[in-house]
Amino acid sequence: MADPALSHAPKPQGATGVLVLSDGAVAWGKGFGAIGDAVGEVCFNTAMTGYQEVMTDPSYAGQIVTFTFPHIGNVGTNHEDDESHDVPGAVGCVVREDVTAPASFRAEDTFGHWLASKGKIGIAGIDTRALTRRIRLSGAPNAVIAHSPTGEFDIPALLEKARGWPGLKGMDLAKVVTRTEHQGWEGAIWRLGEGFTRPEGTGRPHVVAIDYGAKDNIFRNLVQAGADVTVVPAETPAETILELKPAGVFLSNGPGDPAATGTYAVPVIRELLDRDVPLFGICLGHQMLGLAAGAQTIKMHQGHRGANHPVKRVAEGVVEITSMNHGFAVDATTLPEGVVETHVSLFDGSNCGIELTGKKAFSVQYHPEASPGPQDSFYLFEKFVGMLQRKDD
């Protein structure tokens, strides 16, 4: 039986926003942010903070984020908290309560005005609990999110657009969100009143980071852990990477289907492994390392997105609370000999980390850089940088 909060009911008076699911369900609300419509996969995120970081995370490209925490937008936005600049992230968001005026001394703009400046659409007044329950039961649906100040919508056309979108499976989005040029990275961890400062020290090992859709805070954590970082585009050949003389190579997070991105990323990673270059991957980078090692990836039913996901370190039995954002995963049943499962999700037992025997190569499915989220897992950056040869060694 259809949930009454997500029904085929006619448009209520005053509605200026609508979410049209591919199965024909319609949810009405109050639009804010950009005007127009956008298509994507609807997912939900359980984090209570960090909506600005979520909306600018390139891993959310092609997705409409449903925030389960009701009070979104209440601390406004500022230029320091964007996780990427001038690249696509989430196409829109769905929230429960109307966005209130910012209540933070760091606020530089309202959430609605900021969304509009980014070309992203928001809808308030949606029963996000019902929508989340629907996703949990039936999987993440394709949908169109739309905002019209006049309240005029062509629902049949929006439904056709939602049904015509092919979905994330088989879609390579890394090449859409990646940087297009090599870039040195300077700033490290943010401190109140100081901004993004750079730790002092010479002889720092050089890390080349392959950008499949990276969050900026990953690079800050690499610098904070003691590395110099050069960021390169997703399709950079192994030969070009090796010419930069990296002490190690980082494989970033990113959006889309890992199997599609792997067509050009996996051969590069395999060559780096053959050269015994130390590797560290996060999220999509974890999936790329898994594919390069001979494993397979799968599309998840609902995915993991939030800042409260418990993950167990298999060897020690220690539990970390982590930040996650992924709709695909490495299939643990396909891990070949020589690949050790190092971390597992305590929610559903899915794979959350691997390490290659005889290689300095490891990866995790979750986000140790947080932003938003807990900082239990910063040790992974220290582990990676600690295994690299310094310039003065």
Q: Point out the residues that are catalytic.
A: 283, 367, 369
- Distance, CA of 174 to CA of 153 (rounded, Å): 32
What is the Cα–Cα distance from 244 to 267, expressed in whole angstroms?
Answer: 18
Residue 149 CA, distance from chain mean position: 30
Give CA–CA dist 28/151, Å, rounded. 10
- Among residues 136, 154, 140, which one has the least CA distance to residue 63? 140
Distances (CA, A) of 252 to 93, 286, 355, 365: 24, 8, 16, 11
Is the Cβ–Cβ distance between 67 and 95 less than 8 Å? yes
CA distances from 267 to 212, 236, 239, 280 (A): 15, 11, 11, 16
DSSP labels for 36-76?
A: EEEEEEEEEE--SS-HHHHHT-GGGTTEEEEESSS--STT-
In the 8-state DSSP scheme, what is residue 12?
P
